[in-house]
Chains A and B, each alone.
Chain A
Amino acid sequence: GQQLNQSPQSMFIQEGEDVSMNCTSSSIFNTWLWYKQEPGEGPVLLIALYKAGELTSNGRLTAQFGITRKDSFLNISASIPSDVGIYFCAGETGANNLFFGTGTRLTVIP
């Protein structure tokens, strides 16, 4: 079955620093999504990518859909304390049938 590996597993950064995380898969996906999850809440969609090579921004967040369709990365610029949480990548097979990565836990030190 599909396996999505995210790296790094966790990050501790100073407020104001940029963050980069990525996701690789053993399978091809037609859609990549990035979600953020905070304690006690469900995942919240950050960015959706629909085309290989696509680069999309949402405020301080930028994500890219890899050319091979087997990888994606997410960058966060100028991190702030409210960026704390777990970031998940997800590849979509059937409609809304998502395979989630293992998550990257981000801690921002003020």
Chain B
Amino acid sequence: DAGVTQSPTHLIKTRGQQVTLRCSPKSGHDTVSWYQQALGQGPQFIFQYYEEEERQRGNFPDRFSGHQFPNYSSELNVNALLLGDSALYLCASSRVTGGSYNSPLHFGNGTRLTVT
């Protein structure tokens, strides 16, 4: 039973470019959340997708956008990259257990993005 898988594992981009990161959730999960983890810090919530729509969003600019596909996989897009966007981007999945509740998050191993 595969856990959360992310691709690519590493990526180097130049300031101003755009990037797309991909995530496949754990089998049986229907909700995908994205987190940004800067070096030496805890992860920060970017947004969450459920039923192909953004359900919650953290304090990140509109340059960060996402998508969820019918098979529950998800993409994170970042436009107009800044040096400060360099970080580990973590995808996490869960399943809705009823109402507004979800099972605890299972994290992937992340995509390390370096912006030069």
Contacts and interface: CB of A to CB of B under 8 A. Distances in A.
A33 B101 contact: no
Interface residues of A, number: 23
Contact of A88 (B42, B55, B102): B42
Given A94-B100, A96-B31, A42 B92 contact: yes
Interface in A76-95: 88, 90, 94-95
Contacts of B110: 41-42
A97 B108 contact: no
Contacts of B33: 96-97
A67 interface: no
A43 B43 contact: yes
A1 B94 CA distance: 25
A98 B56 contact: no
Interface string B26-66: 00000101010000011111001000000110110000000
A48 B104 contact: yes
Contacts of A110: none
